[in-house]
A and B are shown apart, each in its own frame.
Chain A
Amino acid sequence: MSEPLLAFSGVTRTFGAGQGEVRALGPLTLTIGEGEFITVAGPSGSGKTTMLNLAGLLDKPSTGEVFLKGAATSPLSGEGRARLRREAIGFVFQEANLLPVLTALENVEFSLLLRGEGERGRRERAFSALELVGVADQADKFPAAMSGGQRQRVAIARAIVSGPSLVIADEPTASLDRETGAGVVALLKRINRDSGTTFLLASHDTMVIDAASRVILLRDGRVVV
């Protein structure tokens, strides 16, 4: 059996201390294989975002270990985690979170800039990513001049442009209307199918849940299903 892309081993995440300590997640033990399209579902406060933050190396577990490609991530320094995020993980946020002073193309390019890619190659790859997600015609527009769906597509282009192994999307359709949301889900699914990129999504949206190859249902920080 091949090594899982991502593994949680006895992971907990607590906030606060002493009597005010709150366990937001765990203990959680699960593995995510390459090419999976997983939706983490559950009510608000169930620990979906906490789990995604740990999976995306944005946060550290209180106990247990998160493994990425078989390597423990806890011992990594902040710079080491940032490097892994640059090289292996893409993020799609609920409200796109594009940098407002950059055009669509520049937003996608920015991700490559952080990887130290040269300007010429950067531009070409960013434009290809915009073409892939169907918003190449918006390349020179600033986020404020785009619709919510277009912004989210640009955010997806930014997440996948560097060819990450894992894309983490937190409520990617939450701020979109149903039709636009469906388009975004279809796009994510197509990328997953065509490139084999692993997707880990958190959502209440039935469309996102229906599209998943596996659903992880969380309640009170624990896996129910």
Chain B
Amino acid sequence: MLIRVAARNALRNGRRTAYTVLAVAFGLLCLIVFQALKVGLHAEMVRSTVELDAGLVQIHGVGYEPNLASLKPLPEPEKVVKGLINAGATGWALRTRVPALLLAKEKSSTVLLTGIDPEREPSVTFVSARITKGAYPDRSGGVLLPENLAQPLGVGVGDEVSLMAQDASGRAVVRKFRIGGLYRTALQSFDRTHLFIEGGALREFLRAENVYTEAVAVNEPGDEATLAAQLRASLDPAKFQVRTWKEAAPDVDQLIRLNDSTMGLLIAIVFAIVAMGIVNTMSMAVFERFREVGVMLALGARPRTVFTLIVLESTAIGVLSAALGTLLGVAACGYLAKYGVDLTSLTSSNEYFATSHILKARLTLPDLAWENGLTILTASLAGVLPAAKAVRLEVVEALGHV
């Protein structure tokens, strides 16, 4: 019955309640949309990081560093592969990666040369889908060059370039390779440095038969911790270092956490404003009903009953607002999930958007649940102040209120 009374009280001054509900619903709408866009943004950033090169989890030999000039072999690659299969990785590949110098005509450029398994590598990166000319590396030994590098060097598919690197024994080796294909990921920093070649050809060039430097694995986003834990359990930590994408690309992880903090601040500000609006509405409502409160207290109502009634009324406003805000928020997110926001002009040179420049909203049920919970909780808490004021009323004074 108290809920009925609270709900009817909430609807008593329809216009005032409607304005409050609209204001709170707008706050929730903003929260739902911003949160969904943020989740979409983060998903895109993670996807770009993971699918461009890093994978969800990387395995190297202990002591490996990306800028080592000499080969740092991955020990027991068969054991690593077995560990990856057992851990349930949906995609994995072994790579041999060394820094090299690319010489073309009179020009040169330092690059990162990666020997890949053409069968497995497409399961961990999307580079194979970004071929603009020629073909993905195969057993014929052609090198895949980024367009952004080929152009200034004045070379193209079918031309020869020389690559210089340190072989397995640390000696400098140079060999000519034919350019088999060109690619473009739209991420200039990546495109300027990454060259790909069939792994066997690279290892033969480096005189490093069966030498791999890293294994990369992918799974569902968010599975990195589980996958890494399973791998760490099966691989000797004295020999292997297992890193998640968060450890391999801490800048992305930090940026995501920074975004979360900023969003938290924004939520606090929006909901402080929302709470003040409800406090104002409820204070007005309670002030108008001092006499009714007095009657209830005279009839023997416990202060906590009056308190509950007012907080319930405030909660009812929260529930109405949550329903409207959710309706509008879900509709807006539906649109933004389908069409997205084109951020090409803002992200074309940004490594966090290598896979797509369209930011799409990603609404999740847990997000929708906490957003609604927060709205209703804010509304309930906003009722506490007016309710506390009401229960402190002297009965006689309240009964005499006009």
Contacts and interface: CB of A to CB of B under 8 A. Distances in A.
Contacts of B395: 58-59
Interface stretch (A63-71, A106-114, A182-190, A209-217): A106-114
Interface string B288-329: 000110011111111101000000000000000000000000
Interface in B1-45: 1-2, 4-5, 8-9, 12
B395 to A, nearest CB: 5
A85 B300 CA distance: 5
A101 B12 contact: yes
A115 B12 CA distance: 26
A210 to B, nearest CB: 27
B396 A59 contact: yes
A131 interface: no
Contact of B302 (A53, A82, A89, A99): A82
B384 interface: no
A147 B9 CA distance: 22
Given A97-B291, A99-B292, A101-B8, A53 B396 contact: yes
B157 interface: no
B298 A110 contact: no
Q: Using C-beta atoms within 8 Å of the partner chain, give the interface range for chain B.
A: 20 to 34
A82 B297 contact: yes
Contacts of A89: 300
Given A58-B395, A58-B399, A97-B291, A91 B298 contact: yes
A91 B299 contact: yes
A112 to B, nearest CB: 10
B14 to A, nearest CB: 13
B5 A99 contact: yes
B295 A114 contact: no
A109 B1 contact: yes
Interface in A79-119: 79, 82-87, 89, 91, 93, 97, 99-102, 106, 109-111, 113-115, 119
B12 to A, nearest CB: 6
B34 to A, nearest CB: 37
B299 A86 contact: yes
Contacts of A97: 291-292, 295, 399
B291 A87 contact: no
A56 interface: yes
Of residues A59, A91, A97, which shows the largest number of chain B Cβ atoms within 10 Å of its Cβ?
Answer: A97
Contacts of A53: 396
Contacts of A158: 299
Given A58-B395, A101-B5, A85 B12 contact: no
Contacts of B305: 114
Contacts of B1: 106, 109-110, 113, 119
B301 A82 contact: yes
A110 B299 contact: yes
Nearest to B398: A58
A102 B301 contact: no
Contacts of B9: 101
A163 interface: no
A4 interface: no
12 contacts: A59-B395, A79-B303, A82-B301, A86-B299, A89-B300, A93-B295, A102-B8, A110-B296, A113-B2, A114-B305, A115-B300, A119-B1
Interface of A: 53, 56, 58-59, 78-79, 82-87, 89, 91, 93, 97, 99-102, 106, 109-111, 113-115, 119, 158
8 closest A-B pairs by CB:
A86-B300, A101-B8, A85-B300, A58-B395, A97-B295, A82-B300, A59-B396, A53-B396
